[in-house]
Amino acid sequence: MNTFHQIVWLGRRSLLFTLRQPVQIVPSIFFPLMFLVVIAAGGDRASTIPGFPAESYFAFALGGAFVQGTMLSGVNSGSKLAYDIETGFLDRLVLTPVGSGSILIGHMIGSLAVSLIQLFTFLAAGLIGGVHIAAGVPGILVMFALALAVSIAFSALGVIVGVRTGSSEAVQSAFPLFFILLIFSSYMLPRNLMEADWFRWFATANPASYLIEGIRSLVITGWDLGALAAGFGTAAGVAALTLTGAAVSLRRKAVWS
């Protein structure tokens, strides 16, 4: 079995496992949507602040829901791999000629499928809520591409945690860290309107800000090449680090087994 067939077989398994487990899909859609609705209701008056970049706070916050959803997909990806470790499936798999790269890519296909379901759901919620995508249909395609790049980066991070801990519960416990990453970003307020210097510093140093702002620019601005370059560049940088870490972790797992 060559590498392509290995990826197809493992990807099919990952996809079926994900689709047969609603608990892998529903929370990663429900929680970001509920959080979006709550902060949009509470922060609607923020759109009246001079210099606020959008007329609708719901439209402003929509990009944050996309990123939050892809982060949750990453947690689910790590949980699935940890489950394979707990059941002994991964130990048996690494004893076969299947490469660690095939395991990584095939395993992430299920998470990407969940991300696509999320993206269509969030987009539909935005359109129903009266959001107009400033960049139009081409912008939606670019938005999906950036969101999937974020999904790949955080899915690989979930794989690292899953391999290192070997416990699905431990992987799930990492979610608060992702939530903190979102809170200290530009999810709820533009960085130029943050009055607290320390908060603006954290938001500027936080990679999640650039991921959110890249998607947000397509929703409320149109084609902001600077925001898109920062978003894609950040996603690519994080993905390079996490994919490398995930591949190394799986290789070590194969050696230990």
pLDDT of residue 255: 53
Which of 60-64, 111-115, 172-176 has the least mean pLDDT?
A: 172-176
The reported pLDDT for the residue numbered 236 is: 94
Res. 241 pLDDT band, cuts 50 70 90: very high
Lookup result for tokens 């790590």: 78
For 177, counting Cβ atoms within 10 Å of its Cβ (0-12 exposed, 13-18 middle, 19+ buried), the class is exposed
Model confidence pTM above 0.85: yes
Cα maximum dimension of the chain? 62
Concatenate the DSSP letters of all residues of 223-254 into one string.
--HHHHHHHHHHHHHHHHHHHHHHHHHHHHHH
Phi-psi region of 156 (alpha: psi -120 to 50; beta: other; left: phi over 0): alpha
What does the pLDDT read at residue 254? 61
pLDDT for residue 24: 67
**pLDDT for 217 beyond 90:** yes
**Alpha-carbon torsion (140, 141, 142, 147), positive or negative:** positive
Q: Is the pLDDT of residue 43 over 60?
A: yes
pLDDT for position 99: 76
Better pLDDT: 75 or 37: 37
Residue 2 has pLDDT above 80, yes or no: no
Rounded CA gap, 225 and 231, in Å?
Answer: 10
Q: How far is CA 168 from the centre of its chain?
A: 18
User: What is the C-alpha separation between 179 and 145, in angstroms, rounded?
Assistant: 22
Give per-residue burial for 11-20: e unless 16+ CB within 10 Å, then b: bebbbeebee
Q: In the structure encoding, which two tokens stand for residue 122, read together? A: 């969030």
Q: What is the 3-state secondary structure (H, E, C) of 139-189?
A: HHHHHHHHHHHHHHHHHHHHHHHHHHHCCHHHHHCCHHHHHHHHHCCCCCC
Q: Average pLDDT for residues 141-156, to the nearest whole number? A: 91
Residue range 91-120: mean pLDDT, rounded: 81
User: Once rounded to an integer, what is the mean pLDDT over residues 205-223?
Assistant: 94
Residue 148 has pLDDT above 80, yes or no: yes
Average pLDDT over residues 226-254: 89
43 CB neighbour count, 10 Å cutoff: 15
Tell me how far apart the alpha carbons of residues 232 and 214 are, in angstroms, rounded to a whole number: 8
Residue 95 has pLDDT above 80, yes or no: no
Do residues 179 and 197 lie in contact, with contact meaning Cβ atoms separated by under 8 Å? no
Look at residue 75 and give its three-state secondary structure: helix
With pLDDT > 70 as the criterion, what percentage of the chain qualifies? 97
| pLDDT mean across residues, the chain | 85
Say if residue 30's pLDDT is above 90. Answer: no
Q: 191-213: buried (b, 16+ CB within 10 Å) or exposed (e) per residue?
A: beebeeeeebebbeebbbbbbbb
* Maximum average pLDDT range among 112-121, 161-170, 229-238: 229-238
